[in-house]
Amino acid sequence: MSELTFDFTGRTALITGAASGVGLATAHLFLEAGARVALLDLKQEQLALAKVELGPDVVLCAADVTRSADVDAAVATTEAAFGGLDILVNSAGIAGDSLRTLDVTDAEWERVMAINSTGTFYCMRAALRGMVDRGYGRIVNVASVAGKEGNPMAGAYSASKAAVIGMTKSVGKDVAGTGVLVNCVTPAPIDTPMVRGLSDEHVAYMLSRVPMGRLATVEEAAQLIAYLSSDGMTFSTGAAFDLSGGRLTY
């Protein structure tokens, strides 16, 4: 795959859900491009393995994105370590169980919404305080095609990702003119541990909707995230950028 070249020298980034999947791939790309990177994830053992893989200079933030105090502490740790925070990538998320609407429990609905949508809000709010004060920032939220179209057997997930898209549009307008840009990506299924954990029926349905007939790769997702996080992104905010193999064309 032909890759774009980025220069993040002097920039600092906090990536959530960074111990695996899209978050880990994005961390690799950012580090290769010269950024200083902090990794946020709930899974401490996987975070430690990620640091071995990425190198000793990354900062680890073991945190639960559904707890605002954890998120605030992670942002404070990142800013103290690097002298500020320029880029936030919200890639923490779960698919939830593949269930028909009548089988979704209160607890399952609340779990998916808390991680995918409330967690994204907490992270944006915490990062924006310093970004707005410093007059610079890039926030990229990982949403999903499900947030635009809705997937069957995935009511909570689809709703949570629609919320991410809505928050992106709102917050992007809130801070327009401050030097902070807020955008999201809306990928079709990506070859990650989260997708591999779905039922075969669910994955087959999703692939049937993708004209290119395959899963996206984490590297492809990281490339788009890097562009939206770069200084080359100057005049888009509150937007959703598709990565869907032809599924979404609007």
| Domain of residue 233, residue span | 12-243
> From CA 19, how far away is CA 43, in angstroms rounded?
7
Q: Is residue 5 part of a domain?
A: no
Q: Is residue 111 part of a domain?
A: yes
**More confidently predicted of 181 and 195:** 181
Look at the block and give the residue holding tokens 């010269």: 34
DSSP state of 17: S
Residue 206 clears pLDDT 60, i.e. is over it: yes
Q: Is residue 21 part of a domain?
A: yes
When mean pLDDT is compared across 2-16, 105-119, 172-186, the lowest value belongs to: 2-16
Read off the tokens for 172.
Answer: 């992007």
Read off the tokens for 64.
Answer: 């639960």
Residue 67 clears pLDDT 70, i.e. is over it: yes
pLDDT digits 0-9 by tens, 120-178: 999 999 999 999 999 999 999 999 999 999 988 899 999 999 999 999 999 999 999 99
Give the pLDDT of residue 3: 67
Give the pLDDT of residue 153: 86
> From CA 22, how far away is CA 104, in angstroms rounded?
27
H helical segments located in the chain:
21-32, 44-54, 68-82, 106-113, 119-134, 146-149, 155-174, 193-196, 200-208, 218-229
Residue 2 clears pLDDT 70, i.e. is over it: no
Are 248 and 148 within 8 A, CB to CB? yes
Q: Is residue 248 part of a domain?
A: no
Catalytic residue among 136, 157, 205, 227: 157
Query: Average pLDDT for residues 23-33, to the nearest whole number?
Result: 98
Query: Average pLDDT for residues 56-83, to the nearest whole number?
Result: 98
pLDDT digits 0-9 by tens, 80-129: 999 999 999 999 999 999 899 999 999 999 999 999 999 999 999 999 99
Residue 216 clears pLDDT 90, i.e. is over it: no
Residue 248 clears pLDDT 70, i.e. is over it: yes
> From CA 193, how far away is CA 22, in angstroms rounded?
10
Q: Is 157 a catalytic residue?
A: yes
Look at the block and give the residue holding tokens 């707890």: 67
Q: Is residue 1 part of a domain?
A: no
Q: Is residue 215 part of a domain?
A: yes
Q: Is residue 2 part of a domain?
A: no
Q: What percent of the chain has pLDDT over 70?
A: 98
Residue 225: which CATH number?
Answer: 3.40.50.720
Q: Is residue 249 part of a domain?
A: no
Give the number of domains in the chain: 1
Surface-to-core class of residue 237, CB atoms within 10 Å of its CB (0-12 exposed, 13-18 middle, 19+ buried): buried
DSSP lists the bridge partners of residue 16 as 40, 90
Residue 105 makes CB contacts below 8 A (sequence gap 6+) with none
